[in-house]
Amino acid sequence: MIEEYGYVERVGDDGTEVRIATPAACERCGIKDACHAAGKVVTVPEVLGLRREQPVRLRMVDVSVLSATLVIYGIPFAALLIGLFGSYFTFLATAGEDARILFSFAIGASLLVLSGFVVARLDRRMERRVRYIVEPVPSIPEY
């Protein structure tokens, strides 16, 4: 289960907004500019008893992690295999061996790149469906 810590930013009728805290380790991280978790605001269904600025732990439900993993890795992998083997055995069956290999690689690589756009679009949709469990904590631990 993936865990993050943060602070309650707003409690409203439409849900509770939690800003994910930036751990001290983020300052030393080499990819801190590309990381989107630290400082991000997530909205969770209203959790009773929370107040503004209260530290909480967010745990992503395992089903959400598995479905995200399937989308992020499964779609590009399937696109690559379909491009490589599908084009090699079906579309280019009448071409010479060298041409079949070259074109099947080109088609597989093209489908892999196109699948990146599909994954990016699905990522935006899945972000709204990720479920979190929110638990109050006394303080946010130092890393």
Q: CA-to-CA distance for 75 and 119, rounded, in angstroms? A: 7
Q: Is the pLDDT of residue 101 over 60?
A: yes
Q: Is the pLDDT of residue 16 over 60?
A: yes
Q: Is the pLDDT of residue 24 over 70?
A: no
Query: How does the average pLDDT of the chain come out, rounded?
Result: 80
Q: What local confidence, expressed as pLDDT, does residue 114 receive?
A: 95
Q: What local confidence, expressed as pLDDT, does residue 34 receive?
A: 53
* pLDDT > 70 fraction of the chain, expressed in percent and rounded: 81
Q: What local confidence, expressed as pLDDT, does residue 69 receive?
A: 82
Q: What local confidence, expressed as pLDDT, does residue 38 receive?
A: 63
H helices of 12-95, in order, are 62-69, 75-81
Of 111, 132, 128, 23, which is closest to residue 103 (Cα–Cα)?
A: 111
* pLDDT > 90 fraction of the chain, expressed in percent and rounded: 18
Q: Are strands 55-60 and 15-20 parallel, antiparallel or unpaired?
A: unpaired
Task: For 71-89, write each residue's pLDDT tens digit.
Answer: 889 999 999 999 999 888 8
Q: CA-to-CA distance for 17 and 82, rounded, in angstroms? A: 41
Q: What local confidence, expressed as pLDDT, does residue 59 receive?
A: 82
Q: Is the pLDDT of residue 36 over 60?
A: no
Q: Which helix (H) or strand (E) holds 120?
A: helix 97-129
Domain assignments of the chain as residue spans, ordered by start: 2-60+130-136, 63-126
Q: CA-to-CA distance for 111 and 76, rounded, in angstroms? A: 8
pLDDT tier at 30, thresholds 50, 70, 90: low
pLDDT tier at 63, thresholds 50, 70, 90: low
Residue 42's Cβ-count burial label (10 Å; 0-12, 13-18, 19+) is buried
